[in-house]
Protein backbone atom coordinates (compact mmCIF):
# COMPACT_ATOMS: atom_id res chain seq x y z
CA UNK A 1 0.00 0.00 0.00
CA UNK A 2 2.04 2.90 -1.33
CA UNK A 3 -0.03 5.67 0.30
CA UNK A 4 0.39 4.14 3.74
CA UNK A 5 4.15 3.77 3.24
CA UNK A 6 4.46 7.38 2.09
CA UNK A 7 2.41 8.58 5.03
CA UNK A 8 4.42 6.63 7.61
CA UNK A 9 7.80 7.56 6.13
CA UNK A 10 7.00 11.28 6.21
CA UNK A 11 5.32 11.01 9.59
CA UNK A 12 8.69 9.83 10.97
CA UNK A 13 10.55 12.64 9.18
CA UNK A 14 8.16 15.15 10.75
CA UNK A 15 8.37 13.60 14.22
CA UNK A 16 12.14 13.35 14.54
CA UNK A 17 13.54 16.44 12.83
CA UNK A 18 14.32 18.86 15.62
CA UNK A 19 15.87 22.20 14.80
CA UNK A 20 14.65 23.02 11.32
CA UNK A 21 15.67 22.32 7.75
CA UNK A 22 19.15 20.90 7.95
CA UNK A 23 18.16 18.48 10.71
CA UNK A 24 15.48 17.02 8.43
CA UNK A 25 17.86 16.29 5.54
CA UNK A 26 19.52 13.09 6.83
CA UNK A 27 16.11 11.74 7.87
CA UNK A 28 14.66 12.39 4.41
CA UNK A 29 17.64 10.64 2.85
CA UNK A 30 17.33 7.64 5.19
CA UNK A 31 13.62 7.13 4.45
CA UNK A 32 13.37 7.94 0.74
CA UNK A 33 16.74 6.75 -0.60
CA UNK A 34 18.01 4.02 1.71
CA UNK A 35 14.82 2.46 3.08
CA UNK A 36 12.26 2.72 0.28
CA UNK A 37 14.40 3.47 -2.83
CA UNK A 38 11.87 6.05 -4.03
CA UNK A 39 14.78 8.30 -5.06
CA UNK A 40 18.32 7.62 -6.25
CA UNK A 41 21.10 9.48 -4.51
CA UNK A 42 21.33 11.90 -7.46
CA UNK A 43 17.55 12.49 -7.33
CA UNK A 44 18.02 13.32 -3.67
CA UNK A 45 20.79 15.81 -4.44
CA UNK A 46 18.49 17.43 -7.02
CA UNK A 47 15.76 17.61 -4.40
CA UNK A 48 18.05 19.43 -1.95
CA UNK A 49 18.98 21.91 -4.71
CA UNK A 50 15.31 22.55 -5.51
CA UNK A 51 14.52 22.98 -1.81
CA UNK A 52 17.25 25.60 -1.47
CA UNK A 53 16.06 27.45 -4.56
CA UNK A 54 12.38 27.62 -3.56
CA UNK A 55 10.47 29.00 -0.60
CA UNK A 56 9.12 26.75 2.11
CA UNK A 57 10.48 24.21 4.59
CA UNK A 58 12.64 21.46 3.09
CA UNK A 59 10.53 18.72 4.73
CA UNK A 60 7.39 19.96 2.96
CA UNK A 61 9.27 20.42 -0.30
CA UNK A 62 10.56 16.85 0.00
CA UNK A 63 7.14 15.42 0.86
CA UNK A 64 5.52 17.15 -2.13
CA UNK A 65 8.32 16.18 -4.53
CA UNK A 66 8.64 12.54 -3.47
CA UNK A 67 4.86 12.09 -3.20
CA UNK A 68 4.43 13.42 -6.73
CA UNK A 69 7.19 11.21 -8.13
CA UNK A 70 5.95 8.04 -6.42
CA UNK A 71 2.16 8.35 -6.52
CA UNK A 72 1.11 11.59 -8.24
CA UNK A 73 -0.78 14.41 -6.57
CA UNK A 74 -2.69 12.18 -4.09
CA UNK A 75 0.70 10.86 -2.98
CA UNK A 76 1.99 14.41 -2.53
CA UNK A 77 -1.04 15.33 -0.40
CA UNK A 78 -0.67 12.26 1.82
CA UNK A 79 3.10 12.70 2.29
CA UNK A 80 2.64 16.39 3.15
CA UNK A 81 -0.10 15.60 5.69
CA UNK A 82 2.21 12.99 7.23
CA UNK A 83 5.08 15.42 7.61
CA UNK A 84 3.02 18.15 9.35
CA UNK A 85 0.88 15.89 11.57
CA UNK A 86 3.50 15.47 14.36
CA UNK A 87 3.99 19.27 14.44
CA UNK A 88 0.26 19.86 14.68
CA UNK A 89 -0.12 17.49 17.65
CA UNK A 90 3.05 18.44 19.55
CA UNK A 91 2.95 22.20 19.06
CA UNK A 92 -0.79 22.44 19.75
CA UNK A 93 -0.30 20.67 23.11
CA UNK A 94 2.60 23.00 23.94
CA UNK A 95 0.56 26.06 22.92
CA UNK A 96 -2.32 24.97 25.18
CA UNK A 97 0.06 24.38 28.11
CA UNK A 98 1.69 27.73 27.45
CA UNK A 99 -1.62 29.64 27.43
CA UNK A 100 -2.74 27.91 30.62
CA UNK A 101 0.49 28.13 32.61
CA UNK A 102 2.37 31.15 31.31
CA UNK A 103 1.39 33.16 34.40
CA UNK A 104 3.12 30.63 36.68
CA UNK A 105 6.44 31.98 37.93
CA UNK A 106 8.31 28.79 37.01
CA UNK A 107 7.09 28.84 33.39
CA UNK A 108 7.93 32.53 33.19
CA UNK A 109 11.40 31.92 34.63
CA UNK A 110 12.10 29.24 32.05
CA UNK A 111 10.82 31.36 29.17
CA UNK A 112 12.77 34.39 30.39
CA UNK A 113 15.96 32.35 30.23
CA UNK A 114 15.06 30.85 26.86
CA UNK A 115 14.55 34.20 25.12
CA UNK A 116 18.24 35.19 24.90
CA UNK A 117 19.14 31.67 23.75
CA UNK A 118 16.56 31.90 20.96
CA UNK A 119 17.91 35.27 19.86
CA UNK A 120 21.43 33.78 19.79
CA UNK A 121 20.28 30.91 17.59
CA UNK A 122 18.47 33.22 15.17
CA UNK A 123 21.70 35.22 14.93
CA UNK A 124 23.68 32.03 14.26
CA UNK A 125 21.23 31.04 11.51
CA UNK A 126 21.48 34.51 9.94
CA UNK A 127 25.27 34.41 9.96
CA UNK A 128 25.35 30.91 8.49
CA UNK A 129 23.45 32.27 5.46
CA UNK A 130 25.24 35.63 5.27
CA UNK A 131 28.90 34.63 5.59
CA UNK A 132 28.95 32.03 2.78
CA UNK A 133 27.09 34.54 0.57
CA UNK A 134 29.55 37.37 1.23
CA UNK A 135 32.69 35.20 1.38
CA UNK A 136 31.95 32.38 -1.09
CA UNK A 137 35.35 30.69 -0.68
CA UNK A 138 35.49 31.13 3.08
CA UNK A 139 38.45 33.57 3.00
CA UNK A 140 38.39 37.33 3.57
CA UNK A 141 39.87 37.91 0.11
CA UNK A 142 37.09 36.05 -1.68
CA UNK A 143 34.61 38.80 -0.76
CA UNK A 144 31.57 39.09 -3.06
CA UNK A 145 31.20 42.90 -3.13
CA UNK A 146 27.75 42.86 -4.68
CA UNK A 147 26.38 40.51 -1.98
CA UNK A 148 27.99 42.68 0.72
CA UNK A 149 26.58 45.92 -0.73
CA UNK A 150 23.11 44.43 -1.15
CA UNK A 151 23.19 43.25 2.47
CA UNK A 152 24.32 46.64 3.82
CA UNK A 153 21.86 48.55 1.64
CA UNK A 154 18.97 46.28 2.66
CA UNK A 155 19.94 46.57 6.33
CA UNK A 156 20.02 50.37 6.21
CA UNK A 157 16.69 50.60 4.35
CA UNK A 158 15.11 48.29 6.95
CA UNK A 159 16.48 50.19 9.96
CA UNK A 160 16.04 53.77 8.84
CA UNK A 161 13.40 53.79 6.13
CA UNK A 162 11.33 50.89 7.60
CA UNK A 163 10.71 49.51 4.12
CA UNK A 164 8.63 46.36 3.66
CA UNK A 165 11.01 43.39 4.13
CA UNK A 166 9.59 41.35 1.26
CA UNK A 167 9.94 44.33 -1.06
CA UNK A 168 13.57 44.64 0.05
CA UNK A 169 14.29 40.95 -0.58
CA UNK A 170 12.76 40.99 -4.05
CA UNK A 171 14.60 44.26 -4.75
CA UNK A 172 17.94 42.60 -3.87
CA UNK A 173 17.16 39.77 -6.29
CA UNK A 174 16.29 42.20 -9.10
CA UNK A 175 19.49 44.25 -8.55
CA UNK A 176 21.59 41.05 -8.65
CA UNK A 177 19.87 39.96 -11.88
CA UNK A 178 20.42 43.37 -13.54
CA UNK A 179 24.10 43.47 -12.52
CA UNK A 180 24.70 39.92 -13.80
CA UNK A 181 22.92 40.75 -17.08
CA UNK A 182 25.17 43.79 -17.63
CA UNK A 183 28.35 41.82 -16.97
CA UNK B 1 -14.65 36.45 13.30
CA UNK B 2 -14.26 35.39 9.69
CA UNK B 3 -12.02 38.36 9.16
CA UNK B 4 -9.50 36.95 11.67
CA UNK B 5 -9.23 33.55 9.98
CA UNK B 6 -8.95 35.16 6.60
CA UNK B 7 -6.19 37.45 7.87
CA UNK B 8 -4.35 34.44 9.37
CA UNK B 9 -4.70 32.33 6.25
CA UNK B 10 -3.61 35.03 3.82
CA UNK B 11 -0.76 36.21 6.09
CA UNK B 12 0.84 32.77 6.34
CA UNK B 13 0.09 32.11 2.66
CA UNK B 14 1.78 35.33 1.59
CA UNK B 15 4.74 34.92 3.95
CA UNK B 16 5.25 31.26 3.09
CA UNK B 17 5.36 32.11 -0.62
CA UNK B 18 8.29 34.45 0.00
CA UNK B 19 10.21 32.55 2.67
CA UNK B 20 13.58 31.85 1.18
CA UNK B 21 16.20 30.82 3.71
CA UNK B 22 14.38 28.67 6.22
CA UNK B 23 12.02 28.83 9.14
CA UNK B 24 13.70 31.68 10.99
CA UNK B 25 12.77 34.05 8.19
CA UNK B 26 9.07 33.22 8.31
CA UNK B 27 9.07 33.60 12.10
CA UNK B 28 10.67 37.01 11.68
CA UNK B 29 8.05 37.97 9.14
CA UNK B 30 5.23 36.63 11.33
CA UNK B 31 6.56 38.88 14.10
CA UNK B 32 6.61 41.90 11.81
CA UNK B 33 3.02 41.23 10.75
CA UNK B 34 1.32 40.26 14.02
CA UNK B 35 3.45 42.14 16.57
CA UNK B 36 4.68 45.31 14.87
CA UNK B 37 1.88 45.94 12.38
CA UNK B 38 -1.34 44.45 13.74
CA UNK B 39 -0.39 44.49 17.47
CA UNK B 40 -2.31 41.24 18.03
CA UNK B 41 0.55 39.62 19.96
CA UNK B 42 3.05 41.32 22.29
CA UNK B 43 6.82 41.16 21.92
CA UNK B 44 7.66 38.82 24.83
CA UNK B 45 4.88 36.43 23.93
CA UNK B 46 6.18 36.23 20.36
CA UNK B 47 9.65 35.26 21.60
CA UNK B 48 8.06 32.49 23.68
CA UNK B 49 6.28 31.27 20.56
CA UNK B 50 9.59 31.23 18.72
CA UNK B 51 11.02 29.07 21.53
CA UNK B 52 8.05 26.68 21.30
CA UNK B 53 8.25 26.52 17.49
CA UNK B 54 11.95 25.88 17.65
CA UNK B 55 12.04 23.28 20.39
CA UNK B 56 9.34 21.14 18.75
CA UNK B 57 9.90 18.61 15.99
CA UNK B 58 8.97 19.47 12.41
CA UNK B 59 9.39 22.48 10.13
CA UNK B 60 9.83 25.70 12.13
CA UNK B 61 7.62 27.65 9.72
CA UNK B 62 4.72 25.23 10.26
CA UNK B 63 5.27 25.21 14.03
CA UNK B 64 5.29 29.01 14.04
CA UNK B 65 2.04 29.08 12.07
CA UNK B 66 0.48 26.67 14.58
CA UNK B 67 1.32 28.74 17.69
CA UNK B 68 0.25 32.02 16.11
CA UNK B 69 -2.90 30.37 14.72
CA UNK B 70 -3.80 28.90 18.12
CA UNK B 71 -3.20 32.20 19.90
CA UNK B 72 -5.39 34.19 17.51
CA UNK B 73 -8.11 31.71 16.62
CA UNK B 74 -7.95 28.45 18.59
CA UNK B 75 -8.25 25.22 16.58
CA UNK B 76 -9.85 26.79 13.48
CA UNK B 77 -7.00 29.33 13.66
CA UNK B 78 -4.45 26.49 13.53
CA UNK B 79 -6.15 25.03 10.44
CA UNK B 80 -6.23 28.40 8.67
CA UNK B 81 -2.59 29.22 9.47
CA UNK B 82 -1.19 25.76 8.63
CA UNK B 83 -3.13 25.57 5.35
CA UNK B 84 -1.71 28.97 4.40
CA UNK B 85 1.83 27.89 5.27
CA UNK B 86 1.67 24.62 3.33
CA UNK B 87 -0.11 25.63 0.12
CA UNK B 88 2.68 27.75 -1.50
CA UNK B 89 5.53 25.20 -1.20
CA UNK B 90 3.09 22.43 -2.17
CA UNK B 91 1.97 24.18 -5.36
CA UNK B 92 5.48 25.34 -6.27
CA UNK B 93 7.10 21.93 -5.76
CA UNK B 94 4.31 20.18 -7.66
CA UNK B 95 4.93 22.49 -10.63
CA UNK B 96 8.69 22.14 -10.35
CA UNK B 97 8.57 18.37 -10.30
CA UNK B 98 7.04 18.67 -13.78
CA UNK B 99 9.44 21.31 -15.15
CA UNK B 100 12.59 20.67 -13.16
CA UNK B 101 15.19 20.61 -15.95
CA UNK B 102 14.33 24.02 -17.37
CA UNK B 103 14.13 25.55 -13.90
CA UNK B 104 17.55 24.27 -12.75
CA UNK B 105 19.37 25.79 -15.74
CA UNK B 106 17.62 29.17 -15.68
CA UNK B 107 20.22 31.92 -15.37
CA UNK B 108 17.63 34.53 -14.32
CA UNK B 109 16.18 32.44 -11.50
CA UNK B 110 19.65 31.61 -10.16
CA UNK B 111 20.64 35.31 -10.13
CA UNK B 112 17.38 36.44 -8.48
CA UNK B 113 17.75 33.86 -5.71
CA UNK B 114 21.38 34.75 -5.10
CA UNK B 115 20.52 38.44 -4.64
CA UNK B 116 17.53 37.68 -2.43
CA UNK B 117 19.81 35.84 -0.02
CA UNK B 118 21.48 39.15 0.97
CA UNK B 119 18.09 40.75 1.61
CA UNK B 120 16.98 37.79 3.73
CA UNK B 121 20.10 38.14 5.91
CA UNK B 122 19.45 41.87 6.39
CA UNK B 123 15.89 41.12 7.60
CA UNK B 124 17.10 38.45 10.05
CA UNK B 125 19.94 40.56 11.48
CA UNK B 126 17.72 43.63 11.83
CA UNK B 127 15.31 41.65 14.00
CA UNK B 128 18.22 40.16 15.99
CA UNK B 129 19.37 43.74 16.59
CA UNK B 130 15.96 44.71 18.06
CA UNK B 131 15.73 41.59 20.22
CA UNK B 132 19.29 41.89 21.51
CA UNK B 133 18.83 45.51 22.55
CA UNK B 134 15.67 44.47 24.41
CA UNK B 135 17.66 41.89 26.39
CA UNK B 136 20.63 44.19 27.05
CA UNK B 137 18.26 46.93 28.28
CA UNK B 138 16.77 44.54 30.84
CA UNK B 139 20.08 44.95 32.75
CA UNK B 140 20.03 41.26 33.62
CA UNK B 141 23.70 40.30 33.29
CA UNK B 142 23.01 36.56 33.49
CA UNK B 143 20.65 36.70 30.49
CA UNK B 144 23.42 38.33 28.45
CA UNK B 145 25.78 35.48 29.41
CA UNK B 146 23.12 32.93 28.40
CA UNK B 147 22.87 34.65 25.04
CA UNK B 148 26.63 34.58 24.43
CA UNK B 149 26.99 30.95 25.55
CA UNK B 150 24.02 29.84 23.42
CA UNK B 151 25.56 31.58 20.42
CA UNK B 152 28.94 29.89 20.94
CA UNK B 153 27.32 26.48 21.44
CA UNK B 154 25.13 26.86 18.36
CA UNK B 155 27.39 28.65 15.91
CA UNK B 156 30.88 27.44 16.76
CA UNK B 157 30.30 24.09 18.46
CA UNK B 158 27.29 23.08 16.30
CA UNK B 159 25.48 21.74 19.35
CA UNK B 160 22.05 20.33 18.53
CA UNK B 161 19.42 23.05 19.04
CA UNK B 162 17.24 20.80 21.18
CA UNK B 163 20.10 20.27 23.66
CA UNK B 164 20.65 24.01 23.94
CA UNK B 165 16.94 24.63 24.53
CA UNK B 166 16.74 21.83 27.13
CA UNK B 167 19.90 22.99 28.95
CA UNK B 168 18.67 26.60 29.10
CA UNK B 169 15.21 25.44 30.24
CA UNK B 170 16.77 23.44 33.11
CA UNK B 171 18.91 26.47 33.98
CA UNK B 172 15.75 28.61 34.01
CA UNK B 173 13.99 26.18 36.39
CA UNK B 174 16.96 26.16 38.80
CA UNK B 175 17.36 29.92 38.68
CA UNK B 176 13.65 30.54 39.31
CA UNK B 177 13.58 28.10 42.25
CA UNK B 178 16.71 29.66 43.80
CA UNK B 179 15.32 33.20 43.42
CA UNK B 180 12.01 32.19 44.98
CA UNK B 181 13.72 30.50 47.94
CA UNK B 182 15.83 33.60 48.52
CA UNK B 183 12.66 35.72 48.36
CA UNK B 184 10.86 33.43 50.85
CA UNK B 185 13.69 33.38 53.43
CA UNK B 186 13.79 37.16 53.60
Q: By the 8 A CB rule, do A111 and B154 touch?
A: no
Q: How far is A172 from chain B (nearest CA, A)?
A: 5
Residues B99 and B157 in one domain: no
Do both B23 and B92 map to the same domain?
A: yes
Average pLDDT, stretch A9-38? 80
pLDDT of residue A21: 57
Say if residue B40 is in the same domain as residue B18: yes
- For residue A169, give how far its alpha carbon lies from the nearest alpha carbon of chain B (Å): 4
HSE-up of A110 (CA within 13 Å, CB side)?
Answer: 17
Give tens-digit pLDDT for A109-122.
Answer: 887 888 888 888 87
The whole-number average pLDDT for the span B69-93 is 93
Measured distance CA(A111)–CA(B176) in Å, rounded: 11
Angle at B47 between CA A53 and CA B124, to 5 degrees: 35
DSSP secondary-structure letter at A30? I
Q: Are residues B33 and B101 in the same domain?
A: yes
Tell whether B7 and B35 lie within a shared domain.
yes
Judgement on whether residues B119 and B168 belong to the same structural domain of the protein:
no
Q: Give per-residue pLDDT as tens, A126-152.
A: 887 788 889 988 888 889 999 999 999
Among the residue ranges A138-147, B39-48, B51-60, the one predicted with the least confidence is B51-60
**Which range (A30-39, B13-22, B81-90, B151-160) has the least confidence?**
B13-22
Query: Which of B90, B109, B56, B154 lies closest to A59, judged by CA?
Result: B90
List CB contacts (< 8 A) between A173 and chain B.
111-116, 119
Are both B122 and B69 inside the same structural domain? Answer: yes
Specify whether the CB–CB gap between A150 and B2 falls below 8 A: no
User: Do B32 and B43 fall within a single domain?
Assistant: yes
For A78, the 3-state DSSP assignment is: helix
Going by pLDDT thresholds of 50, 70 and 90, the confidence category of residue A83 is very high
pLDDT band at B100; cut points 50, 70, 90: low
Greatest mean pLDDT range, A99-108, A162-171, B52-61, B131-140:
B131-140
Tell if the CB–CB gap between B111 and A99 is shorter than 8 Å: no
Report the alpha-carbon distance of residue A9 to residue A35 in Å, rounded: 9
B28 & B80 share domain: yes
pLDDT at B183 over 80: no
Q: Which of B99, B122, B137 is the last residue of a domain?
A: B137
- Among B137, B152, B177, residue at a domain's last position: B137
Smallest Cβ–Cβ distance between A173 and the set B53, B61, B113 belongs to: B113
Same domain? For B44 and B125 the reply is yes
* Chain A environment of B180 (Cβ under 8 Å): 105
- Same-domain check for residues B80 and B62: yes
Please give the pLDDT value at position A104: 67
Q: How high is the pLDDT of residue A23?
A: 63
The minimal CB distance from A90 to the residues B56, B111, B147 is found for: B56
Q: Where are the alpha helices (DSSP H) in chain B?
A: 2-17, 23-31, 43-55, 60-104, 107-137, 141-151, 161-185
- Say how far apart CA A89 and CA B184 lie, in whole Å: 38
Range of the domain at B53: 2-137
Q: Give the count of domains, chain B.
A: 2
B14 pLDDT above the threshold of 90 = no
> B63 and B35 in one domain?
yes
What are the Cα distances from residue B124, in Å, to A43, B8, B43, B130, B140?
Answer: 31, 22, 16, 10, 24
pLDDT at B59: 87
**Nearest C-alpha neighbor of A92 from the set B22, B134, B49, B30:** B49
Predicted local confidence at residue A86, as pLDDT: 93
Among B96, B111, B137, identify where a domain stops. B137
Closest by Cβ to A169, choosing from B27, B110, B120: B120
Nearest-CA distance from A158 to chain B in Å?
7
Cα–Cα distance, B91 to B110 (Å, whole number): 20
> Burial level of B183, CB count in 10 A (0-12/13-18/19+)?
exposed
Confidence check: pLDDT of B43 > 80: yes
Q: Is the ipTM value over 0.85, yes or no?
A: no
Amino acid sequence: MIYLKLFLAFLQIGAFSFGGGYAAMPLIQAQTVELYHWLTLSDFTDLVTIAEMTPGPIAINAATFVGNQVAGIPGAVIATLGVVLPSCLFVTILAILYTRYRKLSLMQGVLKSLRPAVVAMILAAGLSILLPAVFPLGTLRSVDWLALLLFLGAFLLLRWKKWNPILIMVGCGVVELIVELIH
Amino acid sequence: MNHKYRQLFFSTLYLSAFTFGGGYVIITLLKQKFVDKLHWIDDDEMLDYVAIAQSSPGPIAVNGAIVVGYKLGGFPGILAAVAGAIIPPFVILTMISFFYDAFKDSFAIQALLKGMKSGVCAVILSVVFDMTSGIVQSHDFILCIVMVLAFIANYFLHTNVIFIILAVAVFGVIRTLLTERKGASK
